Structure 1
Amino acid sequence: MAEMSTIRDVAKLAEVSVATVSRVLNGNGYVRSDTKERVAAAIKQLNYRPNDVARSLFKGRSKMIALFVPDIMNPFFPELARAVEDMTKQQGFTFVLCNTDDDLTKEMAYLDALKQKSVDGIIIVSSTMTAEYIESFDIPAVALDRIIHSNISSVTVNNREGAKEAVQYLKDIGCQRIAHVAGPEHVSNAKQRLKGYLDVVEKEEWFSSAFIEQGEYHFEGAKKATEALLTKFPEIDGLFVANDLMGVGAIKGAESLGISVPDQLSIISFDGIKLGETTSPALTTMAQPIYKIGARAAEILIHQVEQNESKTLVEEFSVKLIERDSTRKKGENQ
């Protein structure tokens, strides 16, 4: 049986250093294209197969796309994933879902593992990943739901405008004191939603930053935040909550204090996930076109992969107010 070639044999045949071969295999660091070709030819000639990366050098693309989401327990992300999966499958790609908890070390570990599998591209919902890091991987990437960097294509919604509309709606139905359960400070869409809230209430004579509590985009966090707000300011009669998962937590928080929604407190949130239809009362929300944005991100990424094109696209979709039972009807007395 022929003996296995080593990375040294490849380097010798291609007349380059072992480090250069390694760089070509791992796709990190700059290597001139003619050098890359020499290394690839040597690998082929010697049938050197260190791992999946080398194999995919022969096959071309892996036809695999990964989606990074920060919290698989938030139903918003499985709904997004559904759209990405449908679109990738339709185009003949395999779909991989990575749950990162917005933890950079976890994200980096996933990226390293996917690089080994020579993934074709990633769609990434992240507040921790830097553009430099993604670019160093030299993999086509599209940011979804949150903007990572101006060099990276993104698909998002008009978070600030949508939030403004939500808070204005609470005013229009007669709410006098409107508080906000905010998403994490380092998340771009949460920042925008907070700005939208401030756009409407900042100038009110009753307003102070104490009307804002952090809910961290989690059910429990929002329940606690709502309890804290309503205990501190019993006069709060309107609540804008930065996402639907927290909206459910807010309903539970009000309930635990014996405050009736919507009779004493109107709650509006953001996302438009299916869960909001099933809560009691059902959630009034600013609905994102979740399926559309997921499918669009996949479409942009697949185009980048297939056409080898790196044009940066920035697309923003609009949200839509869906009135349900967690807000009072206009003109109803408190």
Structure 2
Amino acid sequence: MTTIRDVSKLAGVSVATVSRLLNQSGYVSKEAEIAVMSAIQKLNYKPNNIARSLAGKKTAAVALMVPDILNPFFPEIARAAEDAAAVLGYTLVLCNTDNNPDKEKKYIETLINKQIDGIIISSYTILPEQILALQDRSIPIVVIDKSFSDYPILSVTAANRHGGEMAVQHLMSEGSRKIAHISGPSHVHASRERTLAYEKACRDLPWFMPSLIGYGNFNVAGGYQAMKEIYKQHPDVDGVFAGNDLMAAGALKALIELGAAVPEQVKLIGFDGIRMDMVYPEITTISQQIYSIGKTAMDYLIRLINNEPIERKNYELDVELLRKATT
């Protein structure tokens, strides 16, 4: 059985240094931290969380709250967060709120009562004042998929507006001359940013009109219905930017039913980069670094738990175009 002494020997540091890092009980240099974490991974060392909890008055547990576990975006976030937490000996508690503010509040209070060490929150409805109140109670918080630019809140998001611009520019470069947009819920930060990018790129063009924007609910059914409504009013549309991949899949189904050839007649692009191997033709998308978002959020949360200096602001990760069959 691997011991803490094995870790210290492989890392080339003292047992006390390894103990300080695992118990968050004192300063450890960045170089030593990297060496220790590398040794832990190589040796598959599992810290004694019960003893660590008693010594450091911590539970060695962190939580991830998501609004909809059925959206494939969030399981990948959860996998990344769990992987990053496990390396440091933390257990991840997953909470699905169903986009329900009351359920969200109950989860938060339960987690606090259980003395959770920190929480990663993805929420469409949570207010900055709620986050600040939690921080005032010394609860380490990292927000994902939403930012609060006017408040000292640490968040991790994708470059949503830039990605929206990339999506529209790609459709135009492929020959689309009348582009529709299927927007997600207006109260969702990522959805607003992507829609604003579409409007900025298209509103001054001679063919643009507000009825080219349809509204889904970040799900397949919403994309399907929005596409049918748009196409009924604009049968000459030749490009569609859907605000996420699920709505793009719904739009693709609608276009096929309407007899519109994709991509010959209508080109289609989504957003997120989730795994949709069973959808045919494969959908071009603006890919977020989903795994990196989850891992980065967990890394930042652990730094907050350890009282390491880190600026409470939004950290935006790049996106990239994944061109596939629908364009």
SS at match of 1:278: coil
Residue correspondence of structure 1 range 1-334 to structure 2 within 5 A: 60-137=57-134, 138=137, 139-148=139-148, 150-275=151-276, 277-307=277-307, 311-327=311-327
Q: Residue 314 of structure 1: CA displacement?
A: 2.2
In structure 1, distance between residues paired with 2:184 and 2:77 = 19
Name the amino acid aligned to 1:71. D
| Structure 1 moving runs of 4+ over 3 Å | 56-59, 308-311
Q: Residue 62 of structure 1: CA displacement?
A: 1.1
Instruction: Give the conservation status (yes or no) of the 8 Å contact 2:243–2:270.
Output: yes
Larger Rg: 1
Name the amino acid aligned to 1:78. P
Name the amino acid aligned to 1:280. Y
Evaluate the alpha carbon distance shift between residue 310 and residue 119 of structure 1 in structure 2; reply closer, same or farther with a 3 A threshold. farther
Gaps of 5+ in 1: 1-55, 328-334
User: Could you say what the CA RMSD is over the residues aligned between the two structures, in angstroms?
Assistant: 1.6
Paired residues in the alignment total: 271
In structure 2, distance between residues paired with 1:104 and 1:134 = 13
Stretch deviating more after TM superposition (157-166 or 59-68): 59-68
In structure 1, distance between residues paired with 2:131 and 2:64 = 14
Q: Residue 102 of structure 1: CA displacement?
A: 2.0
Question: Percent identity over the alignment?
Answer: 40
1:200-249 deviations in whole A, cap 9, x for unaligned? Answer: 11111111111001111111111100111111110011000001111111
Gaps of 5+ in 2: 1-52
In structure 1, distance between residues paired with 2:101 and 2:248 = 27
In structure 2, distance between residues paired with 1:69 and 1:252 = 27
Instruction: Give the conservation status (yes or no) of the 8 Å contact 1:241–1:267.
Output: yes
Evaluate the alpha carbon distance shift between residue 75 and residue 158 of structure 1 in structure 2; reply closer, same or farther with a 3 A threshold. same
Name the amino acid aligned to 1:207. F
Q: Residue 57 of structure 1: CA displacement?
A: 8.7
Normalised by the size of structure 1, how large is the TM-score? 0.78
Q: Residue 64 of structure 1: CA displacement?
A: 1.1
In structure 2, distance between residues paired with 1:192 and 1:57 = 45
1:167-211 deviations in whole A, cap 9, x for unaligned? Answer: 011011111110000011011111110011112111111111110
Name the amino acid aligned to 2:300. I
Instruction: Give the conservation status (yes or no) of the 8 Å contact 2:131–2:153.
Output: no
1:141-163 deviations in whole A, cap 9, x for unaligned? Answer: 11111114632101111111110
In structure 2, distance between residues paired with 1:201 and 1:61 = 52
Q: Residue 309 of structure 1: CA displacement?
A: 5.2
Instruction: Give the conservation status (yes or no) of the 8 Å contact 2:185–2:218.
Output: yes
1:103-138 deviations in whole A, cap 9, x for unaligned? Answer: 211110110111111111111111211122233232
SS at match of 1:261: coil
Stretch deviating more after TM superposition (150-159 or 172-181): 150-159
In structure 2, distance between residues paired with 1:125 and 1:287 = 19
